[in-house]
Amino acid sequence: MQDDSNLPQGSAAENGMDIARLEALASQLPEWGMRDVVVVRHGQLVWEWHAAGDDRLAAIYSCTKSILSALVGIAIGQGILAGPEQPAAELLPELAEAADERKRAITIGHLLTMTSGLEWPDFDKPYRRMKASADWVRYVAETPLAHAPGQVFAYNSGGSHLLSAILTRATGESALAFARKHILDKLGVRDVRWNDHGGINEGGTGIHMSSRDLAKFGLLYLQGGRWGGEQLVPEWWVRASLSPKHKGLMNYEPPIYGQYGYHWWISERSANRWADCPFAFGYGGQCLFIVPPADLVVVVRKRPAGRNQAILSHRVLFDGIAEAVLS
């Protein structure tokens, strides 16, 4: 394990983990297409496995959304944004000028919970067309409404990009600059990239960081937004974000999703047979799991191989690491 003063190392055994079960899990990981697994328990890095031999910078895909959510919460806590009920059109003239007046009712909360009502079918398929357009914000804003805002869940990374634009216009700086100032530098995250277009960081995806650094972000949320004695993310925002706001895709099979909070998924104990577990989820099985009852954070990164193969990332936690938790 690599030394990191911001993520102290500890013994798996001394932190209530069965090392023999972890080693048995490690033998299965290559077959499942895993690339990285990092386990943090009781605030310490207790076990990690890397297909390449060590951690590395890599795309976290839609786990980006959960970091963006934290930045929105910080901006709300600082009074820069009014709150989840604030109309997005107040900061997005592209929505304010829309011919369909219902778009002016879309709130920051609707964007965070994927209930904006914008027509965004086939589980995010329009995102590719958005990225091929000249103006990503305008492309999303001009998308027709399929439903009144707040009524229907539809996974929409375009809405996440609107949140990034809102954050940038409200703060006067990029989401990455805001993140460095208020989260990343304080966690000791030095090596990070975040794709951008037209001066706005890609809201739905786009962050590249190491598994350990992603685990630090998970630990920040496990600790209620506190780090080193400082409240980085408002504690109420952490609780609100990790609480279900919509049933989301809780009935999807295999159970790779769950209910939805503020850009976080929530896997229920009834689905995973262990514990209620908020998680950030990126394309192909990139997962940041937070398991409060076990004081546990787990990062799993996998070789993308089809949407439903992400169930293997869940198995790493719920069929593997859960069995290694002794107390």
Summarised one tens digit per residue, pLDDT across range 176-210 is 999 999 999 999 999 999 999 999 999 999 999 99
pLDDT at position 306: 84
Strands (E), the chain: 34-41, 44-50, 58-59, 193-194, 196-197, 200-201, 207-209, 226-227, 230-231, 259-260, 265-267, 277-282, 286-291, 296-302
pLDDT at position 123: 83
Q: Which residue has the tokens 């799993």?
A: 300
Domain 13-56+210-228+236-324 architecture = 3-Layer(aba) Sandwich (3.40)
pLDDT at position 167: 98
pLDDT at position 188: 97
pLDDT at position 262: 98
pTM tops 0.75: yes
Q: Give the chain's residues under pLDDT 70.
A: 1-3, 327
So where are the chain's domains? 13-56+210-228+236-324, 66-171
Query: What is the C-alpha R_g of the chain?
Result: 19
Q: How far apart are CA 70 and CA 262, in angstroms?
A: 9
- CATH class of this structure's domain 66-171: mainly alpha
Question: Which region holds residue 58: left if phi is over 0, alpha if psi is between -120 and 50, else beta?
Answer: beta
176: CB partners within 8 A, 6+ apart: 192, 194, 196, 201
